[in-house]
Amino acid sequence: MNNERLIWDKLLAAGLTPAGAAGLLGNLQAESGLNPRNLQNSYEGRLGMADAEYTAAVDRGAYTNFAADGAGYGLAQWTYPSRKAALLAYAGARGRSVGDLDTQVGYLLQELQTLFKPLWDKLRTTDSVREASDCVLLQFERPANQSAENCARRAALGERFFELYGGGKDMEYIMTAEEFCAQLIDIEQNRKTAYMLGPWGWPANDKMITRATTQGGNAKTNRQWLGKANAIKGQGYLFDCVGLIKGVLWGWSGDMSRTYGGAGYACNGVPDYDAKGMIDHCLEVSTDFTSIVPAEAVWMDGHIGVYVGGGMVVEATPKWEGGVQRSTCSNVSTQLIGGTAGSRRWTKHGKLPWVDYSVAKNKEGNEMLTYEQWKEYMDRYRKEQAGLPASGWAKEELAAAVAAGITDGKRPHDFVTREEAAVMAVRSGR
């Protein structure tokens, strides 16, 4: 993992809220770029040493003026003699380099708990990144530049970390196979989506479409799908195949106001794997599709999806209509299943280690649930769906249909019967 994720995990483990950790991390980013061996740039020429040389000289005792030289150093750019001396003593007592990342995070937490107790309490209770960032800047770092502009800049850095790592319902949440499949099906049925390489449910807005098509190694490739992304701008989301899996497991909720749709980054214990890495880390991987159960990953070279039962896969693909689609798994069903976009034959399947399959033990050839269990689940599911308001992307069209007398507008997420479909079809033609 990179430094930012390592520090984030340690801050949360110490009891900081996600907002508190993000506000602190944004300040550390501004101070040192999260480099624990960072020597204040203006002192490199004055001392004739760069980061690595300075750290090595301090560690071996060749440079003895560490505490009193006035140079900012490390993650927090410690400068005051007493605090630098304490950092050096802390590292020495543990037999570690003064530039060791774990050592500096440990010392940072010790300082907060002892010398900055009110700030420590704030970072463990706040739900505001801006509040946390301002408190760290003004009470802990105390840089020469304490202007409103600098406060805003550091808070923006904190917000970036919050968006990356603070998403999801619970940073240790494990989805059941049932929940996983239900959310994938909901995305396929009820969300407008477009395919682009890299995103894991990014809202299709100007900022994220521009990011996908101008930044990173996939930018040039993604431009071929720009038209589809622009067609759902402000109403839909961008996914690639493995991003669909990661986004849901990272806590994606479809929140258009969040940079990543409510998802975090590499949270809930799910690493940032590509499609090959994802299948390589699956359990019970097999080429025998008679043993497949819902919520297993299905893989072919360069592509991955999720089996959702009934011979069907939910996948994000540029093929067919592009976006998140349901397809027929030809390894299970030899006939194209109605309502699916097309058919694929996959190479192998396996159980994702971040999904709970404890209730999905039977083979596909046997019933997963009794009729009573299935009916209870469907009744509960329909009740939950019936209470949901219309999705933002459908509100205008639904209102127009109600005004035209085509439908009453109730139960916008519920199933439609053939009787209701027939009535709406006739009314729409009048």
Residues 136/140/141/146 CA torsion (nearest 10 deg)? 60
How many separate domains does the chain show?
Answer: 3
Residues 387, 287 share a domain: no
Say what the pTM is.
Answer: 0.61
* Residue 117: inside a domain: yes
* Residue 152: inside a domain: yes
Residues 320, 288 share a domain: yes
Residues 93, 25 share a domain: yes
Tell me the per-residue pLDDT of 268-315, one tens digit each, with 9 for 90 and over.
888 899 999 999 999 999 999 999 999 999 999 999 999 999 999 999
Residues 145, 99 share a domain: yes
The CATH number for 36's domain is 1.10.530.10
* Residue 82: inside a domain: yes
Domain membership of residue 420 as a residue range: 371-428
* Residue 86: inside a domain: yes
Residues 119, 19 share a domain: yes
Residues 378, 348 share a domain: no
Write down the pLDDT at residue 401.
86
Q: Which of 101-105, 296-300, 357-361, 390-394 has the lowest mean pLDDT?
A: 357-361
Write down the pLDDT at residue 106.
96
* Residue 269: inside a domain: no
- 210 with 189: CB under 8 angstroms? no
Residues 382, 341 share a domain: no
Tell me the per-residue pLDDT of 92-139, one tens digit each, with 9 for 90 and over.
999 999 999 999 999 999 999 999 999 999 999 998 999 999 999 999
Domain boundary among 165, 181, 209: 165
* Residue 101: inside a domain: yes
Residues 413, 341 share a domain: no
Residues 298, 149 share a domain: no
Interhelix angle 3-13/148-165, nearest 10 degrees: 90
What per-residue string of b and e applies to 189-209 under the rule 16 or more CB within 10 Å gives b? eebbbbbbbbbbbbbbbeebb
Q: In which band, very low, low, confident or very high, does the pLDDT at 172 lie, cut at 50, 70 and 90?
A: low
Residues 376, 307 share a domain: no
Residues 120, 12 share a domain: yes
Residues 342, 389 share a domain: no
Q: Which residues pair with 315 in a beta bridge?
A: 325
* Residue 237: inside a domain: no
